[in-house]
Amino acid sequence: MRRLGLGAYRFSIAWPRILPEGTGAVNQAGLDFYDRLVDALLAAGIRPFATLYHWDLPQDLQDRGGWPVRSTALAFAEFAAVTAARLGDRVTDWFTVNEPLCSAWIGYLDGRMAPGIRDLSLAVPASHHLLLGHGLAAAAVRAHSAGPVQVGAVLNLSPCEPASDSPADVAAARRADGHANRWWLDPLYGRGYPSDMLDVYGIEPPVRPGDLEVIATPMDHIGLNYYFRQVVTDDPTGVAPRTSMISVPDWTLTDMGWEVHADGLEHLLVRLSDEYGAQRVYVTENGSAWPDEVGLDGRVEDKERTDYLEQHLDACARAVQQGAPLAGYFAWSLLDNFEWSYGYARRFGLVHVDYPTQRRTIKSSGYRYADIIRAHRDRSVPANT
């Protein structure tokens, strides 16, 4: 990171490392690990950004019902308090939940991610308790940190467009937007759950008095993860929200099968500012997977990733010119890593990892990123300093 000139590093704190049973006994060795990480980052001049929940729920809590039950949100607040009490004297920038859409919709509705359940009657409560957990954890971080902190949530958002001008597809795009974007943004910004999506799901989230106020606790920043837009068609026989994504010919697709569409990032940054009044936004994840290989010369020439990076940074610049309050950009990811159900088969890193040997090789995209960072800093420094 220091070689690349990174000014900040966003990392996630593993809940099972800190509270192996989800609540109660604290594993001090786990906290010691993050102590060393934070100290090493600061010593290298790198600002730590901590994320509390990136989908690794302690198994004991899952066995007791997981996110569909309210007690998990309360346990999350306990985890946040313990962690902030240890690191909040040095970590000033915090995110609570990362991509709650994935935990609720993909974990409990689509069943494609842990815990692999397909049940809307569980997915809707899970979504509510993830948002409630955010609000409770934000309060806990603020209460237990020794120094001043900035706290917010991270959402993965997608522009949703109809596949055709037909009324059915236009309505489908509206439902897709509600499912992917408004269901999360509206309650966080004090609007409650969107009524049209309550009709789509046909299930009321288990809101208790005061819950919506906790969820809408003012955020100091919001994190935006962006990978692709959704072009959708009506799917009357499908599960909620009864839409299907389509692939359009001539799209450039990453190794994940995701469209490269940088304009979507510009659109979302402007929307967060114009529609929701976000005061500080970080692009907390943005990146692409490609079938990288180390060449005979020892280099990793990943032109596709370099092009992707440049296009999306250009989109960020256009959004800023329109008034978007962009405070920073984090590429996903620094290293090739474990990509959930894909295992190690998808490489997102700016740095190649040879898994058997753990050898790290900075890819061409990493060197280009370093050049962009250096040029940006040079333009930002006044001439007389």
Residue 58 has pLDDT above 60, yes or no: yes
Q: Which of 103, 119, 139 is nearest to 239 (CA)?
A: 119
Residues 145-158 have pLDDT tens digits of 999 999 999 999 99
Residue 186 has pLDDT above 80, yes or no: yes
Q: What is the mean pLDDT of the chain?
A: 97
Residue 380 has pLDDT above 80, yes or no: no
Whether residue 55 contacts residue 102, with contact meaning beta carbons closer than 8 Å, is answered with: yes
For residue 381, what pLDDT is reported?
A: 59
Classify 116 in phi/psi space as left (phi over 0), alpha (psi -120 to 50) or beta: left
Please give the residue that has the higher pLDDT: either 374 or 378: 374
In sequence order, what are the residues at sequence separation of 6 or more whose Cβ sits closer than 8 angstroms to the Cβ of residue 137?
52, 53, 76, 77, 79, 80, 96, 97
- The span from the first CA to the last CA of the chain, in angstroms, equals 25
- Count other Cβ atoms within 10 Å, centred on residue 144: 17
* Main-chain phi, psi angles of 48, to 5 degrees: -80, 135
- The strand pairing partners of 224, in sequence order, are 155, 283
Residues 108-167 have pLDDT tens digits of 999 999 999 999 999 999 999 999 999 999 999 999 999 999 999 999 999 999 999 999
Whether residue 96 contacts residue 153, with contact meaning beta carbons closer than 8 Å, is answered with: yes
Strands 351-354 and 359-362 turn out to be: antiparallel
Residues 222-254 have pLDDT tens digits of 999 999 999 999 999 999 999 999 988 888 999
Residues 244-295 have pLDDT tens digits of 999 888 889 999 999 999 999 999 999 999 999 999 999 999 999 999 999 9
Residue 93's SS3 state is: strand
- Which percentage of the chain shows pLDDT scores above 70? 99
Which tokens belong to 144?
A: 């237990």
Distance, in Å, from the CA atom of 125 to the CA atom of 122, rounded to the nearest integer, reads: 6
Residue type (1 letter), 176:
A
For residue 43, what pLDDT is reported?
A: 98
Residues 297-355 have pLDDT tens digits of 999 999 999 999 999 999 999 999 999 999 999 999 999 999 988 999 999 999 999 99
Using alpha carbons only, give the angle 346, 351, 356 rounded to the nearest 5 degrees. 65
> Please, what's the b/e burial string for 34-66 (b: 16 or more CB within 10 A of its CB; e: otherwise)?
beebbeebeeeebebbbbbbbbebbeebeeeeb
Instruction: Give residue for tokens 């997102």.
Output: 348
pTM of the model: 0.97
Q: Does a cis peptide bond (omega within 30 degrees of 0) precede residue 12?
A: no
Q: Look up residue 259 and give its DSSP letter.
A: B
For residue 382, what pLDDT is reported?
A: 57
Distance, in Å, from the CA atom of 247 to the CA atom of 314, rounded to the nearest integer, reads: 24
H-type alpha helices, 178-326: 183-188, 195-201, 211-215, 263-274, 303-321
Q: Maximum distance among all alpha carbons in the chain?
A: 65
User: Annotated catalytic sites, by residue?
Assistant: 99, 285
183-188: average pLDDT: 99
Distance, in Å, from the CA atom of 235 to the CA atom of 218, rounded to the nearest integer, reads: 37
